[in-house]
Structures are given as C-alpha cells and as structure tokens.
Amino acid sequence: MFAKPGNKESLEHGKTLTPNFDANGLIAAIAQHAETNEVLMIGFMNADALHLTLEVGEAHYFSRTRQEIWHKGETSGQVQVITELRVDCDQDAILMKVMPEGDGGACHTGFRSCFYRVFENGKLVERP
C-alpha cells in the first residue's frame, strides 16, 4: 500500500510518501483548522486509515482503545474534509489542514477543539 521507509536521506528529502509506522503500526495525525489554524485534535492512523484518508479526502483514524478504523464524523457529522496533507521530516507524523463539517466541532465533548483547557497556576482552566 505504501513503500517501505528508506534511510534518513530518503525519508527527509525523498519525493515518495513512505510513512514510518511505529512498532504498533501507527503514525500520529494532527488535524488543524484550514482557516483559523487552530489545532483541533490529534489521533493515530494505521496504514489502512491513512490510505482511506488519502482516497476519500476525509480524516480516518485508528482507535487505539477500540482497535478499529474510525471515519471521523460518520456518526457525529463532524467530518473533516482535508484541504492539505503534510508529512514531517522523518515521516512519522501527518499534519492535515481540515474544514470541519456539521456544527464545526471536533471534540466529542462539544468543544470546537479537543484542546479546550489551559494548564495555568497548577490547574486546568477551560478556555475554548
């Protein structure tokens, strides 16, 4: 499905996407709002989830707790339509610029971003 990761040089400067999955077959994937640049969430993808993400153009994650592929928004309507997909230097992380559909939220708690709390003076404070 994807070519095997090469050496450092080809990972960093090659023109081929060769995702460097970890021992569990996963790669981190960050979703960032395409217009506001707010970081919405982070999830993990296995090869199938990354393949589906690229094919469909919508974020698919692999749930580590449920051990299954998860098409973000399938039940909530909060589909993440991908406008740009980047890979990092050693190809072990993905950055997606996304336009969220539905109510525009990304988090199951109802907040726009999963990062709705700041750590401040030793406590977590909600500041969505």
Please identify, among the stretches 55-63, 69-77, 113-121, the one whose residues bind its own copies according to the rule CB under 8 A.
113-121
> How near is the Cβ of 120 to its own copies at its closest, in Å?
8
User: What are the helix (H) ranges across 1-128?
Assistant: 8-13, 47-56
x/- mask, its own copies, residues 43-72, rule CB under 8 A, reads: -----------x---------x--------
> Among residues 20 and 101, whose Cβ is nearest to its own copies?
20
Burial 25-44 (b: 16+ CB within 10 A, else e): ebbebbbbbbeeeeebbbbb
> Among residues 29 and 79, whose Cβ is nearest to its own copies?
29
Residue in 2, 21, 70, 111 binding its own copies, rule: CB under 8 A: 111
Token pair 């990092």 is at which residue? 88
96's enclosing H/E stretch is: strand 93-100
x/- mask, its own copies, residues 5-24, rule CB under 8 A, reads: -------x-xxxx----x--
User: Is 123 a residue that touches its own copies (CB under 8 A)?
Assistant: yes
Tokens, residue 39:
């970081």
Q: DSSP class of residue 81? A: E
Residue in 68, 74, 84, 103 binding its own copies, rule: CB under 8 A: 84
Tokens, residue 58:
């919508």
